Amino acid sequence: MQAREIKERLNSLIGEASAKEPSLAKRLDEINRWIKEVKPGSLTAKKFAIAFLLQVIQDASVWLTLQALPSREEQEFALEQMTPTERYWYTYLFPKWITENDPKFYIWKQKLMAGEFTQADDDILKSMAETIVRREGTFWRCYVADFSMATDLIVSSRQEKPLCIQVTSLNSDFARQKYENWKDTLQIWRIDRGLFLSYNPAIPEFVNQLVNMTLYNSDYLPLATYLKFP
């Protein structure tokens, strides 16, 4: 989808949401005003901004489709076709994001448009996600969860209980403040448990170690627990 098509699709979704889901229409309108004066060519050159916009369009489309289903039974059936992590996103976190204040939104919008966003741990997260799927778990990854909710991956394992995790290569001394900020963010969004993982890329098989911790804690980490490892 090109930049011009993205703008057209956003306007279309705003119109559709206005009658059905005013809170979604308000959030989409905020995004639309953010990009309204940016020329299509300039917007296309901002690859992370485009990726974010495409994700939001996808999320809004799915959400509106779910809300348009005529009965609760049909909604439940549609949700059952999703993975546990996808279902958690569309039934809990995404609705929160469109209805509640996002204190970080204005900050990361500026960074995306300025081209200041980087994905330093992208390869690690991709390797983790691939390993989780091979081990029959599921994951969800999106920009809103990352930017606003301090969540790199939402993961579920055998018991299908989603767990929000953040991954960092910072050593334990420097990770302490980041951990405290992460925990505060999860609590603001009423995410009831989370896992903060620091890794050392010099350690052999560190990705498997991260995945082991993630899948185990997805099943067994108690509520109201925000675990830092190591």
Taking only the tens place, the pLDDT of each residue in 114-161 is: 888 877 789 999 999 999 999 999 999 999 999 999 999 999 999 999
Does this model's pTM top 0.85? My answer is yes
Give the β-pairing of 138-140 and 225-229: unpaired
Question: For residue 56, what pLDDT is reported?
Answer: 97
Backbone phi and psi for residue 167, each to the nearest 5 degrees, phi listed first: -120, 135
Question: For residue 98, what pLDDT is reported?
Answer: 96
CB-CB contact of 182 with 198 (8 Å): no
Question: For residue 172, what pLDDT is reported?
Answer: 58
Give the β-pairing of 193-198 and 153-156: unpaired
Question: For residue 114, what pLDDT is reported?
Answer: 86
List the structure tokens of 110. Answer: 């500026």
Residue in 142, 138, 162 with CA at minimum distance from that of residue 152: 142
Which of 111-115, 117-121, 202-206 is predicted with the least confidence, judged by mean pLDDT? Answer: 117-121
List the structure tokens of 107. Answer: 């900050």
Summarize the confidence of residues 196-211 as an average pLDDT: 91
Residue in 211, 220, 221 with CA at minimum distance from that of residue 137: 211
